[in-house]
Each structure stands twice: as structure tokens, then as C-alpha cells.
């Protein structure tokens, strides 16, 4: 997922998906500090995000987050083993989810 105008990987109402071994680079090209390399929103539950590489890149516009769990309706997602070094302008990972979201080894 490289050089998308908005988000690199966008999951909306995703249930029990595995997002694994992706390279998300230089996304959010249409607006700085607005979109994310990987985002879960809209009651996305029981998903696994693991072993992904997220980078903000060198362009003028960069993503806000490497991985963003957008709102509290996203439950029991597992985020593990992701490389989010220099992945977002605001932060590497932002988790607003609930219900035992686990963030390990990132």
C-alpha cells in the first residue's frame, strides 16, 4: 500500500480479519497529518494486525498514524509485532478501541 491519497489499508466494519506482512509507505498524500497507513473504524472487531511495516515517507504530506484504531466501537483487536518506526506524524500507533485490545511487540 504505497502512496495512496488517503489511507493505506482501511477496514470498516471488518470482523475477524488478519492484516499481516504488508508494507504501508507514503500514504496520506492528499493531506498532511490526516489519514493513516492502517486504520480500523466502524465497529471493526476481533481483527489481528501483525508483522506490518508502516513508514510515513519523505513527501510533503504524511499520515497521522502508522496504525490507528479510530473509535471505541472497535473491540478486541490484537496489534502485535508491527514495525511503526517513523510511521506517523502524530504517533506510530493510536488505540481508541475497547475490550482488551492488546498491543505487544510493536
- Higher pLDDT residue, 101 or 88? 88
**Cell numbers 486504520: residue:** 39
The Cα 90–Cα 105 span in angstroms is: 20
Evaluate whether 49 touches 12 at the Cβ level (below 8 Å).
Answer: no
Q: Are 102 and 95 in contact (CB under 8 A)?
A: no
- Please tell me the distance from the alpha carbon of residue 39 to that of residue 31, in angstroms, as a whole number: 16
**pLDDT class of 100 with cuts at 50, 70, 90:** low
pTM of the full predicted structure? 0.93
Amino acid at each position: 500500500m504505497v502512496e495512496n491519497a488517503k489511507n493505506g489499508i482501511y477496514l470498516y466494519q471488518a470482523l475477524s480479519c488478519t492484516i499481516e506482512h504488508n508494507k504501508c509507505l507514503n500514504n496520506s498524500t492528499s493531506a498532511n497529518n490526516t489519514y493513516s497507513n492502517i486504520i480500523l473504524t466502524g465497529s471493526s472487531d476481533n481483527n489481528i494486525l501483525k508483522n506490518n511495516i508502516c513508514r510515513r515517507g519523505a513527501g510533503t504530506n504524511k499520515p497521522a498514524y502508522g496504525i490507528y484504531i479510530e473509535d471505541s466501537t472497535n473491540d478486541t483487536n490484537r496489534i502485535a509485532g508491527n514495525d511503526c518506526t517513523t510511521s506517523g506524524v502524530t504517533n506510530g500507533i493510536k488505540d481508541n478501541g475497547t475490550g482488551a485490545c492488546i498491543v505487544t511487540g510493536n
